[in-house]
Amino acid sequence: MNSQEASQRDGRLYQKVALITGAAGGIGAATARQFAREGAQVVLADLRLEAATELAEEIVSLGGAATAVRVDVSDYDSVQAAVQFAEQTYGHLDILFNNAGIFGDGQRDVTDLSLDEYHRTVRINQDGVFYGIKAAGAAMKEQGGVIINTASIYAFIADRRQFSYHATKAAVVGMTRAAALDLAKYNIRVVAIAPSMIDTPLIDPWRSDERVWNTVRKAQMRQQFGRPEQVAAVVTFLASDEASFVNGHEFFVDDGAASFKR
């Protein structure tokens, strides 16, 4: 047994099976790597199957256990198929990281927001989370498990021209609390994270405007962006038995961004 394998055997998620949506990049990819280092068998679910497959191969090359599957979180059948794939591949499902999402809105005021753009954001950010909770919750009924949803500080504060993103992330918080109550009898915990600005491709459109970039950066107390690995560390804790008495709450990973007046 090499040092990597020994470390995984001692990991907080050893022999756990985890499904991560939006796993091909950003927070999802960082979490996949962290889960694997902690001993989990990880299913990387993403619309970008090629990128997810490359990440799975990277994890396997380092001694971890991972495989990839294509998923469209706006389609319940696709989400259910990903859950079934995890069960068929590894025998069961212990952890769902309901992470896939988009910003949407196209930086338009609510009165200029198109119905198509609004409904697209809802389908991915809100319906996709519901679909994950429904499918994974059913799969976990016999042995229990953990569902972690990605909300945002935008569920709690207002920003301009992000109406549908605010709406969907606030919905994720409400769904997290309601699902935690419904699923508690099955020993399934449901929690959420609320990140602020994390340096991922999701915020790439702001990089070209130095004024916007600096304004967004200064929204954090220490005026720096978070790293995907910092969020992954919190998600890993929530997925582990160390958080066994944590349920029905959202956890800010925001360097205080939601806590002070700008």
Contacts of 78 (CB under 8 A, 6+ apart): 70, 71, 72
Catalytic site residues? 165
Question: What is the maximum alpha-carbon separation in the chain?
Answer: 61
Token duo for residue 23 = 């796993």
